[in-house]
Amino acid sequence: MRPTLLFAVAALCAAGPALAAGPNDQASKRWKQADACIADANKQVPDHNEAALKKRDQLTNDCMAAHKLPPLTNAAPAEATPPTTPPKSN
């Protein structure tokens, strides 16, 4: 009886990590895919000017949409705004 009990305990210990990886595995796959989309866009458009940032944002969001992931926050500025000057103090 002892070898059977020992085998049952060993089997439960081996199955424990596989059962615990369920929900986290899906989230991990989504994060890895998002990272791959960002890396691919960075390889395609390596420049850091405003036009390149907009193009990179578009490529990233297209890839994210193709993999049914939510779009990321854009890195490019929304629009060019002139700098504001602080009010003069007397």
In terms of residue numbers, what domain contains 56? Answer: 29-69
Distance, in Å, from the CA atom of 18 to the CA atom of 8, rounded to the nearest integer, reads: 16
Structural domain total, the chain = 1
Do 75 and 56 touch, CB atoms closer than 8 A? Answer: yes
On whether residue 17 sits in a domain, the answer given is no
Residue 58 lies in a domain: yes
pLDDT tens-place string over residues 32-41: 999 999 999 9
Residue 64 in domain: yes
Instruction: Please tell me whether the overall predicted TM-score, pTM, comes out greater than 0.75 for this model.
Output: no
Cβ atoms 64, 34 nearer than 8 A: yes
Place of tokens 């405003």: 50
Per-residue pLDDT, 73: 79
Q: Is residue 47 part of a domain?
A: yes
- Residue 62 belongs to some domain of the structure: yes
Q: Would you tell me how many other CB atoms lie within 10 Å of the CB of residue 39?
A: 11
Residue whose token pair is 């890396």: 39
In a domain, 20, yes or no: no
Residue 50 lies in a domain: yes
